[in-house]
Copies of this chain bind each other. A is one copy, B any other.
Amino acid sequence: MQLLEERIRKDGIVKDGSILKVDSFLNHQMDVTLFVQLGDEFHRLFAGDNVTKILTIEASGIGIACVTAQVFGCPVVFAKKNKTKNIAGDVYTSPVESFTHGTVYDIIVSKDYLKPEDRVLIIDDFLANGAALSGLAKLVQDAGATLVGAGIVIEKAFQPGGELIRSRGIRVESLARVKAMHSDGSIEFC
């Protein structure tokens, strides 16, 4: 998606060769006007898939998921990273390794909000190693729901997540696929 690639080139900052900092518009400050355009593009890609629910993960996936859900006219469910007192009862759970923080954590969704009849679109801001997306896909599978695919804002195509997830037969649509980032700050797209 050209608009997004241009925005990444303009406002993205390459750090230490593999970190792409886009917190001026995507995951700390959020440009909601851009999100509307991204949501429209996700809808164009998955309009024929009868999506009944959008699944994402806290925290930075929630904004883009909610704006996208307005176009689909369906609710959002976000997986939580820790069990809180306010989620009681039965949950689906999946372990996720965080490469950013060097830890493993559980993601959790209440069984009340993922049902076998659901047709689920996963939305997230980043795809790199695929750990979060794998965990989310497992939650959908455990619920017996149908996973129609995943819509990702930025895929780091030089990391293994995209290939890993696609090799399992899951449809992944990334609006920008970064092929390489260079020490001079330049960014190449696929």
A residues in contact (CB < 8 Å) with B: 15, 19, 21, 23-25, 27-33, 35-36, 58-59, 62-63, 65-67, 69-70, 73-78, 80, 84-88, 100-101, 109-110, 112-113
Assess the B77–A29 pair: CB atoms within 8 A.
Answer: yes
Q: Which residues of B contact A85 (CB under 8 A)?
A: 19, 100-101
B30 touches A75 (CB 8 A): yes
Residues of B within 8 A of A100 (CB): 84-86
Copies, count: 2
Q: Is the CB of A30 within 8 A of B66?
A: yes
A-B contact pairs, 18 of them (CB 8 A): A15-B88, A19-B86, A27-B86, A28-B77, A28-B80, A30-B66, A31-B75, A32-B74, A33-B70, A33-B73, A58-B59, A59-B62, A59-B78, A63-B65, A63-B76, A67-B67, A84-B100, A85-B100
In angstroms, Cα B23 to Cα A88, docked, is 10
**Which residues of chain B are near A84, meaning CB under 8 Å?**
100-101
Whether B59 contacts A80 by the Cβ 8 Å rule is yes
Q: How far is the CB of A65 from chain B (nearest CB, A)?
A: 8
A109→B29 CA distance, assembly (Å): 9
- Chain B residues with CB under 8 A of A59: 58-59, 62, 78, 80
